[in-house]
């Protein structure tokens, strides 16, 4: 998909797209981990500064001052949202925007948003989410409106643990949507289907679908079947509990990386030479694992460092309070416990502070006052970390 996604195009998708985001250069491995740790610094976690779950992607449309960026110069994605299917109405909106920019001459001066409506809206959704009403309404709208939209369905046959037979008519979304297919001069969409582990087919199918939608300003459906999930739905569950041993064995064999490796080794490049050797691939695999481990650690350290700084400041204040308090030994015990935590979270720091405030209630000292002032600045900055930017702050783009 990334190979046919051009600058100016938009994605509206869901949490399975981290590889795509990396392939278009809008997500680094370190940023992925910063997202997982919910780093609240936008520089480290540009998708949502920790305000959304990991795997919720976005790109910026405005600069720091709220001025529109040139979206034609960027690969764009709408900000993901956790409710499955919620990407659909926005996808229709993005596709419709291309149509309006092409048809409405009054909009020709808005040069940062569209080049005569040539942009395609790329949608992604899981097979189970296609059972939602909003998916059907959106596909219907896309066909009636005739808009350039490429809808990819990543079909692993499950919605968490629920098998497709319980939620998709005929167990196939492309079959179920076949009545929407363009016939002769009718409106509707083009339907494409292939298996996710088949790189060459996936490549040519997406190429055809994107070319069709871009050229004819009509929607297409790309039904990608036989997707596997090496870790089940998420790392919070275990798919061994709901997949048969045959299915698990099949998933191992048809893992797209395993199959891609086979494809690389059995094909030649344009000059008739092998694309690369098994040894090359093994080196890539080892290097990639090492690189990812290194970057995950780096992201973790960067997440942890400000907390450790805050912990150090806190213990200093608590020791100062202890020096003037009748509860000295109790406070020093709190400090001791806090200092022992190797990987502290913010709660550890703040609850130690609050405990100290509780046991020293009624006591006053300059040290306690200084500590309370320190706590207030911490609280203010944490308030900003978790409460700002939940909605747009820039009023001018709303006008
Ligand atoms: C509206 C809504 N209902 C339920 C959920 C909980 N939920 C998260 S992912 C998921 C399964 C989605 O399965 P599918 O669409 O097939 O995507 P996959 O993860 O298999 O790629 C569910 C039910 C949700 N996020 N939003
Ligand atoms: Mg699924």
What pLDDT score was predicted for residue 234?
87
Name 121's bridge partners. 10, 149
CA distance 265 to 376: 61
Q: Report the chain's mean pLDDT, rounded to a whole number.
A: 96
Angle of the 346-359 helix axis to the 328-340 helix axis, nearest 10: 170
Spans in the chain with pLDDT lower than 50: none
Question: Which ligand ends up closest to the CA of 53?
Answer: 1
| Rounded distance from Cα 82 to ligand 2 centre (Å) | 15
Residue 387 tokens, joined = 């409460």
For ligand 1, residues with CB inside 6 Å are 16, 82-84, 126-129, 154, 156, 158-160, 233
| Rounded distance from Cα 247 to ligand 1 centre (Å) | 20
Scanning the structure block, which residue is given the tokens 């747009």? 392
Q: Name the residue ranges covered by the structural domains of the chain.
A: 2-17+57-227, 304-388
| Rounded distance from Cα 223 to ligand 1 centre (Å) | 17
| Rounded distance from Cα 220 to ligand 1 centre (Å) | 23
CATH architecture type of domain 2-17+57-227:
3-Layer(aba) Sandwich (3.40)
Name 149's bridge partners. 121
- Which stretch of DSSP H or E encloses residue 339? helix 328-340
pLDDT in tens, 208-217: 999 999 999 9
Say how far residue 218 (Cα) sits from the centre of its chain. Answer: 27
| CA nearest ligand 1 atom 18, residue | 126
Which residue of 128, 155, 223 sits with most ligand 1 atoms within 8 Å of its CB, as the best mutation to test the pocket?
128
How close are the terminal C-alpha atoms of the chain, in Å? 34
What pLDDT score was predicted for residue 101?
97
Question: Which ligand ends up closest to the CA of 128?
Answer: 1
| Rounded distance from Cα 14 to ligand 1 centre (Å) | 9
* Residue 160 Cα: closest atom of ligand 1: 11
* Residue 159 Cα: closest atom of ligand 1: 13
| Residue 138 · residue 118 · CB < 8 Å | no
pLDDT in tens, 231-266: 899 888 899 999 999 999 999 999 999 999 999 999
What pLDDT score was predicted for residue 207?
98
Q: Is the pTM of this model over 0.75?
A: yes
What pLDDT score was predicted for residue 356?
98
Backbone angles phi, psi at 340, to 5 degrees: -75, -15
């Amino acid at each position: 998909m990334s190979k046919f996604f051009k600058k100016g195009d938009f994605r509206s998708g869901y949490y399975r797209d981290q590889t795509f985001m990396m392939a278009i250069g809008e997500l680094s491995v370190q940023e992925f981990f910063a997202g997982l740790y919910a780093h609240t610094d936008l520089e480290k976690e540009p998708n949502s500064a920790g305000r959304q779950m990991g795997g919720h992607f976005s790109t910026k449309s405005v600069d720091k001052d709220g001025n529109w960026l040139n979206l034609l110069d960027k690969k764009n994605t709408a900000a993901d949202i956790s409710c499955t299917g919620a990407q659909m109405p926005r996808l229709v909106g993005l596709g419709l925007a291309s149509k309006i920019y092409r048809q409405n001459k009054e909009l020709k001066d808005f040069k940062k948003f569209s080049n005569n409506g040539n942009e395609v809206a790329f949608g992604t959704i899981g097979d189970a989410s296609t059972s939602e009403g909003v998916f059907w309404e959106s596909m219907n709208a896309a066909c009636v409106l005739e808009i350039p939209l490429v809808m990819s369905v990543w079909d692993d046959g499950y919605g968490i643990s629920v098998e497709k037979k319980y939620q998709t008519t005929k167990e196939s979304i492309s079959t179920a949507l076949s009545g929407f297919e363009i016939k002769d001069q009718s409106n509707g969409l083009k339907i494409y289907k292939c298996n996710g582990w088949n790189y060459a087919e996936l490549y040519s199918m997406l190429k055809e679908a994107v070319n069709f939608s871009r050229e004819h300003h009509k929607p297409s459906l790309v039904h990608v079947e036989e997707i596997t999930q090496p870790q089940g739905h998420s790392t919070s569950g275990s798919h061994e509990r709901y997949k048969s041993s045959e299915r698990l064995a099949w998933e191992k064999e048809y893992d797209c990386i395993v199959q891609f490796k086979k494809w690389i080794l059995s094909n030649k490049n344009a000059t008739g030479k092998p694309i690369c050797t098994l040894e090359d691939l093994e080196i890539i695999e080892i290097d990639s694992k090492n690189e990812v481990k290194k970057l995950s650690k780096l992201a973790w350290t960067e997440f942890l460092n400000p907390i450790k700084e805050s912990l150090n400041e806190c213990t200093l204040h608590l020791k100062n309070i202890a020096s003037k308090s009748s509860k000295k030994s109790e406070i020093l015990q709190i400090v001791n416990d806090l200092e022992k935590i190797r990987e502290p979270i913010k709660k550890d720091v703040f609850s130690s502070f609050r405990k100290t405030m509780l046991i020293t209630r009624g006591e006053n000292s300059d040290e306690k006052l200084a500590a309370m002032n320190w706590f207030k600045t911490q609280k203010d900055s944490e308030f900003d970390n978790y409460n700002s930017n939940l909605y747009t702050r820039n009023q001018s783009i709303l006008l």
